[in-house]
Amino acid sequence: MKINNIMTYNYLLFRIYKNLFTVSVNNVLEVFEKQKNTPGPNAPNFVLRIIDFREEVVPVIDSWAKLNFHVLVLDSSNEQRV
């Protein structure tokens, strides 16, 4: 978008744990509120729940669990790091 001959960019800012991330809004299809948790039957441990998105069943995954990352407590401040 151009305003007064200056290019501007729009980003979606979100937090995962203590990390901040941005994604260009051009790559975002939709933002919606958290939905009711429905556990998936016989789902792997990294599948947190399934949701109904536009009349399709979509799994919500924990990418840390899927990639076998582990959260460790490194000091007495309870700060968690990978």
- The pLDDT confidence band at residue 79, using thresholds 50, 70 and 90, is very low
Express each pLDDT in 14-33 by its tens digit.
887 788 999 999 998 888 77
Contact 19, 2 (CB under 8 A): no
pLDDT beyond 50 at 78: no
Ordered DSSP codes for 10-55: -EEEEEETTEEEEEEGGG-----PPPPPBPPTT--TTEEEEEEETT
Express each pLDDT in 64-74 by its tens digit.
778 777 655 45
Contact 51, 31 (CB under 8 A): no
pLDDT beyond 50 at 34: yes
72: which 2 tokens? 């460790």
Our CA angle for 82, 70, 51, nearest 5°, is 110
The pLDDT value given to residue 10: 92
Q: What CATH fold (topology level) applies to the domain 2-81? A: OB fold (Dihydrolipoamide Acetyltransferase, E2P) (2.40.50)
Contact 67, 60 (CB under 8 A): no
The pLDDT value given to residue 1: 65
